[in-house]
Amino acid sequence: MNRRDFTKASLLAGTALITGASSSFAADPSPKRIRTGLIGCGSVSNQYLPQLTKSPFVEVVSLCDIKPERAKRQAERYHIEHHYPNIEAMLAGEPFDFLIDTTDMQQHEGINRRALEAGKHVWSEKPIANSLAAGQELLRLANGKNLRLWGAPITVQSPQFAFMARQLGQGKLGRVAAAHADYGHEGPGWSAFFYEKGGGSMPDLAVYNLTSLTGLLGPVKRVTAMVSIVTPERTVDDKGRIKVTEEDNAMLLLDHGNGVISHVQSGFNYFNPNGHNGSKETRHTISIVGSGGFMGLVGYDWEPLGVDLATKVSPILERHVTDAQGYIWQQGAVLAAECLATGKELLVTPEQALHVLEIIIAARESSRTGQHIALTSTFKWPIVS
Ligand SMILES: NC(=O)c1ccc[n+]([C@@H]2O[C@H](COP(=O)([O-])OP(=O)(O)OC[C@H]3O[C@@H](n4cnc5c(N)ncnc54)[C@H](O)[C@@H]3O)[C@@H](O)[C@H]2O)c1
């Protein structure tokens, strides 16, 4: 998949929903604006910056990229005054309070640490760090300095997630038994880091389903998995022909306790006749079944289109929550800025992001050793009551 097609499909979805994304604006015409810097001016910055520059809670004061021409180009495109070629220059330059980290997956841990040390709140693309221990250390650092640290993805913020969580909470599915979730595409074609150590299809793609399923069914006690590399070499824009060293194909079994077992499958070799256009994906990409009901999420969890529900009491499959109510996957950093400005909390937490990171690392260990891997981390659940 090339960068332009990927961006176009996601942007179409984003702009269709953009009008609902800043509803609090009507209530307060002049809220506090959080002075914000964004580091990493690649593909996803094209998704973030339109949201950030429209938000009444954000003032983007600076951009940064180690490819300085990218920072310059985005600064011109989005009318941002300052741009820098590295994090140190950015921290020493125009003052700001909130850093948004959209760099390569391998860079997040170090950049997030440096920003927290410098007293900045942080919103990080996934993952927050490359190991559970390092992520927990970052969270301790943030808490110790009274700073906030959040990480993508934000699937738990959607109204479809809330609806599903409420059905489960109200026991509509009876005794919950099993769930399945899947997400894949043919893999990004622009940057090598997706396929190199610290990358892989789990931290890039499975992370969405893992966030949704742990959010719906609770923290995981143990993980069993098989992961593999289907395409050992690829051609990417930034490095040409590369060796793929991280999984591009993954099957995970998750034990949520109380007998509930879920399955997540994800990879970079998934042909989809709809390409990566979220609005065209109408399958159930998440399904949950229990002794008294079935529930299926229509479309992807990052761009949900509805929820189908059938129960013993009402056995005809009915569609609910077809309106996204302003939710878009690109708005995480905007919600974080709103929280910094107004105190309105997010449902997204760093504890859940770190739990999902531990699942990903455990899945690799399980695949390597053939063992079930017990997890140590957890997070506050249920998320929606
Ligand atoms: N592309 C998407 O649509 C998309 C969607 C959701 C999430 N993400 C996530 O966003 C992150 C970035 O992905 P991308 O597709 O934008 O990648 P990308 O390669 O297009 O952009 C990353 C940018 O970060 C810059 N960078 C790397 N190290 C840096 C450093 N130390 N200091 C400053 N800049 C640095 C690179 O030069 C590059 O411009 C990843 O975590 C990815 O999983 C991407």
pLDDT tens digit sequence for 338-374: 999 999 999 999 999 999 999 999 999 999 999 999 9
312 lines ligand 1 (CB under 6 A): no
Establish whether residue 10 lines the binding site of ligand 1, counting it when its CB lies within 6 angstroms of any ligand atom.
yes
Mean pLDDT of 150-178: 98
**Tokens 């809670």 appear where?**
57
- Residue of 44, 66, 109, 155 to mutate, ligand 1, most atoms within 8 A of C-beta: 44
What's the whole-number mean pLDDT along residues 103-120? 98
Mean pLDDT across 216-244 = 98
Task: Report angle CA 330, 273, 263 to the nearest 5 degrees.
Answer: 65
Q: Whose CA is nearest to atom 15 of ligand 1?
A: 43
Using the mean position of ligand 1's atoms as its centre, give its distance from the Cα of residue 194 in Å: 10
For 311-346, how does the pLDDT look when each residue is reduced to its tens digit (9 = 90+)? 999 999 999 999 999 999 999 999 999 999 999 999
Return the best residue to mutate from 12, 77, 102, 300 for the ligand 1 pocket (most ligand atoms within 8 A of CB). Answer: 102
Q: Is the CB of 41 under 6 A from ligand 1?
A: yes
Q: Is the beta carbon of 42 within 6 A of some atom in ligand 1?
A: yes
61 CA distance to ligand 1 middle (Å): 19
Is residue 178, in this structure, part of any structural domain at all? yes
Considering only 13-27, 277-291, 310-324, which range has the smallest mean pLDDT?
13-27
Q: What is the pLDDT of residue 29?
A: 61
Question: How far does the centroid of ligand 1 lie from the alpha carbon of residue 45, in Å?
Answer: 8
Instruction: Indicate if 108 and 253 belong to the same structural domain.
Output: no
Confidence of residue 31 (pLDDT cuts 50, 70, 90): confident
Binned at pLDDT 50, 70 and 90, residue 28 comes out as low
Closest atom of ligand 1 to 40 CA is: 24
DSSP letter for each residue of 182-239: EEE-S--SS-GGGGSTT--HIIIIIHHHHHHHHHHH---SEEEEEEE-S-SEEEETTT
Closest CA to 286 of 269, 273, 303, 274: 303
Whether residues 143 and 213 share a domain: the answer is: no
| Predicted confidence band of residue 30 (pLDDT cuts 50, 70, 90) | confident
Tell me if 225 sits within 8 A of 364, measured CB to CB.
Answer: yes
Say yes or no: 81 and 9 in one domain.
yes
Q: Is 154 in the pocket of ligand 1 (CB under 6 A)?
A: no
What's the confidence (pLDDT) of residue 16? 39
Between 74 and 12, the higher pLDDT residue: 74
pTM for this entry? 0.94
- Residue 65 beta carbon below 6 angstroms from any ligand 1 atom: yes
Q: What is the distance in A from the centroid of ligand 1 to the CA of 166?
A: 35
Q: Of 99, 92, 283, 106, which Cα lies nearest the Cα of 184?
A: 283
3: confidence class by pLDDT, cuts 50, 70, 90: low
Q: Report the number of distinct structural domains present in the chain.
A: 2
For residue 6, is pLDDT > 80?
no
Sign of CA dihedral 203, 209, 212, 216: negative
Ligand 1: distance of its center to the CA of 263 in Å? Answer: 28
Which domain, by its residues, includes 50? 3-151
Residues 6+ apart with CB under 8 A from 338: 24, 55, 57, 344
> Is there a single domain that holds both residue 100 and residue 238?
no
Q: Average model confidence (pLDDT) for the chain?
A: 94
- Give the end of a domain, one of 123, 151, 179: 151
Q: Which residue has the tokens 């960068």?
A: 3
Q: What is the pLDDT of residue 26?
A: 47
Which atom from ligand 1 is nearest to the alpha carbon of 152? 7
Indicate whether 105 pLDDT > 90. Answer: yes
CB of 11 sitting under 6 A from ligand 1: no
Is the pLDDT at 63 greater than 70? The verdict is yes
Given this model, what pLDDT does residue 5 score?
A: 57
Average pLDDT over residues 243-270: 98
**d(CA 314, ligand 1 centre) in Å:** 46
Residue 105: CB within 6 Å of ligand 1?
Answer: yes
pLDDT of 93 over the 70 cut: yes
Give the domain CATH number at 64: 3.40.50.720
Establish if 25 belongs to a structural domain.
yes
Atom of ligand 1 minimally distant from the CA of 87: 32
136 pLDDT higher than 50: yes
Distance from the alpha carbon of residue 232 to the mean position of ligand 1, in angstroms: 22
Is 50 exceeded by the pLDDT of residue 13? Answer: no
Percent of the chain at pLDDT > 90 equals 91
125 close to ligand 1 (CB < 6 Angstrom): yes
User: Of 164, 180, 157, nearest to 285 (Cα)?
Assistant: 180
Within this chain, do residues 271 and 321 fall inside the same structural domain, yes or no?
yes
Domain annotation covers residue 24? yes
How high is the pLDDT of residue 385?
A: 82
Q: Is the pLDDT of residue 153 over 70?
A: yes
Could you write out the DSSP letters of every residue in 308-368? Answer: EEEESSS-S-EEE----TT--GGGHHHHHHHHHHH----S--HHHHHHHHHHHHHHHHHHH
**Banded model confidence at residue 275, pLDDT cuts 50, 70, 90:** confident
Query: Ligand 1 pocket, 47 CB below 6 A?
Result: yes
Any domain includes 359: yes
Q: Which of 114, 135, 151 is the last residue of a domain?
A: 151
pLDDT at 17 over 80: no
**180 Cα–ligand 1 center, Å:** 29
Do 22 and 65 share a structural domain? yes
Domain assignment present for residue 279? The answer is yes
Same domain assignment for residues 18 and 121: yes
Domain-located, residue 348? yes
Which whole number is the average pLDDT over 16-36?
59
State yes or no: pLDDT of 77 exceeds 60.
yes
Mean pLDDT of 122-128: 98
203 neighbors 210 (Cβ within 8 angstroms): no
Are the beta carbons of 203 and 252 closer than 8 angstroms?
no
Q: Is the pLDDT confidence value at 90 over 90?
A: yes
Domain end residue (candidates: 120, 151, 182): 151
